[in-house]
A and B are shown apart, each in its own frame.
Chain A
Amino acid sequence: MGTVKKAKLLRLHFGEGDQYNGKPLYEAIVNRCKELKIAGATVFRGLEGYGETAEIHRHHLIRKDQPIVVTIVDTTENLARLIPEVEQMMDTGMIATSDVEFMRIEKPPTAA
Chain B
Amino acid sequence: MLQKGTAKKVTIFVNEDTQHHFGSLCDAILTFLLHKGVSGATATRAMAGFGAHQLMHTTKIEVLTEHLPIRIEFIESSEKVDELMPTLYDMVTDGVIEVQDTNVVKVASKERPSPAKGPHTEMRGTARLMRIYMGESDKWQGEPLYEAILKRLRLMDIAGATVYRGILGYGVKGHTHKSGRLPFSHDLPVMISVVDTDEKLAKAVSEVESMMQDGLIVFSNVDVIRLVHSRPETESAHGNG
Contact = CB atoms under 8 A, between A and B. Distances in A.
Interface in B73-87: none
Contacts of B140: 112
B214 interface: yes
Contacts of B189: 42-43
- The secondary-structure label for the interface of chain A is strand
Contacts of A103: 205, 209, 216-219
Contact of A107 (B205, B206, B213): B213
A33 B125 CA distance: 36
A106 B172 contact: yes
Nearest to B189: A42
Interface stretch (B89-97, B101-109, B162-170): B162-170
Measured as residues with beta carbon below 8 angstroms from the partner, the interface class of chain A is 20 to 34
A4 interface: yes
A42 B206 contact: no
Contact of A40 (B141, B213, B216, B219): B216
A42 B213 contact: no
Given A40-B169, A44-B166, A44-B191, A106 B219 contact: no
Given A9-B218, A26-B168, A40-B216, 8 more contacts: A1-B206, A1-B209, A44-B165, A71-B191, A100-B219, A102-B217, A103-B209, A112-B213
9 contacts: A4-B219, A27-B168, A30-B169, A41-B169, A42-B133, A99-B220, A100-B219, A103-B217, A103-B218
